[in-house]
């Protein structure tokens, strides 16, 4: 019961339209997909829109482990500092701090041992912030021996380097209407 109260409190802090000090305005992520493994690593950009210091607890969601596989290593940094987090059934809770009118960047990474030939990155929770990303960039890197059969969001371009196929997405004023789904 205590964990559900914590989750509800975090969701209320994160998704409250009024009085929300931080805005989540951009992200720059790299996905790596190999047989049985999906890795996410990237930068998440937040802005304190008030004249006071802000401290906000956020929920970072993970795909359903029963459907996609176990989440492995997790790391969160704000600048050079490691940020502690608490695992929940749906993801992790962590706290971002920002001085008045300051922009801060969090570097978050995790791995997921895949149980099928598919991976998911949850991006639709952006809608709960009630504002689109100002910009977002994504790249998927995978060995060229592995073939991407389907992706839910069509890439803007593709490339090849050092034995990897690379898929690129760049969006502006982006409000995702579906999660990233990768099938190989």
Average pLDDT of every residue of the chain: 90
pLDDT digits (tens, 9 = 90+) for 108-122: 999 999 999 999 999
pLDDT higher than 50, residue 6: no
pLDDT at 21: 85
Residues 43-80: tens digit of each pLDDT: 999 999 999 999 999 999 999 999 999 999 999 999 89
Kindly state the average pLDDT of the residues 89-96: 94
Tokens of 83: 């940020």
Query: d(Cα 15, Cα 8) in Å, to the nearest integer?
Result: 10
143-183: pLDDT as tens digits: 999 999 999 999 999 999 999 999 999 999 999 999 999 99
Give yes or no for residue 13 having a pLDDT over 80: no
For the cut 90, the answer to whether the pLDDT of residue 184 exceeds it is yes
Identify the pLDDT of residue 128: 85
- Asked if pLDDT for residue 7 goes beyond 70, the answer is no
H or E element in which residue 18 lies = none
pTM for this structure?
A: 0.86
CA distance 171 to 168: 10
Q: Which of 127, 139, 166, 129 is nearest to 30 (CA)?
A: 139
Q: CATH classification of 2-183, choosing from 2.40.50.100, 1.10.1200.10, 2.60.40.3680, 2.30.29.30?
A: 2.60.40.3680
Instruction: Please report the pLDDT score of residue 121 as a whole number.
Output: 97
CB 183 within 8 A of CB 148: yes
DSSP string, 141-161: EEETTS---EESS--SEEEEE
Say whether pLDDT at 106 is over 80.
yes
């Amino acid at each position: 019961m205590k964990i559900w109260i914590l989750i509800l409190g975090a969701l209320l802090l994160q998704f409250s339209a009024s009085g929300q000090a931080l805005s989540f305005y951009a992200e720059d992520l790299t996905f790596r997909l190999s047989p049985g493994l999906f890795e996410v690593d990237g930068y998440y950009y937040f802005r304190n829109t008030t004249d006071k210091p802000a401290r906000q607890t956020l929920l970072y969601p993970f795909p359903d482990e029963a459907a996609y596989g176990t989440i492995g290593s997790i790391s969160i940094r704000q600048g050079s500092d490691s940020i502690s987090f608490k695992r929940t059934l749906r993801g992790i809770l962590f706290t971002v701090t920002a001085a008045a009118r300051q922009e801060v960047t969090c570097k978050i990474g995790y791995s997921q041992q895949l149980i099928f030939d598919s991976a998911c990155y949850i991006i639709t929770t952006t809608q709960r912030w009630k504002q689109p990303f100002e910009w977002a960039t994504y790249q998927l890197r995978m060995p060229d021996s592995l073939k991407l059969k389907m992706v839910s969001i069509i890439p803007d371009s593709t490339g090849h380097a050092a034995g990897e196929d690379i898929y690129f997405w760049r969006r502006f004023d982006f409000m995702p209407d579906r999660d990233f789904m990768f099938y190989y």
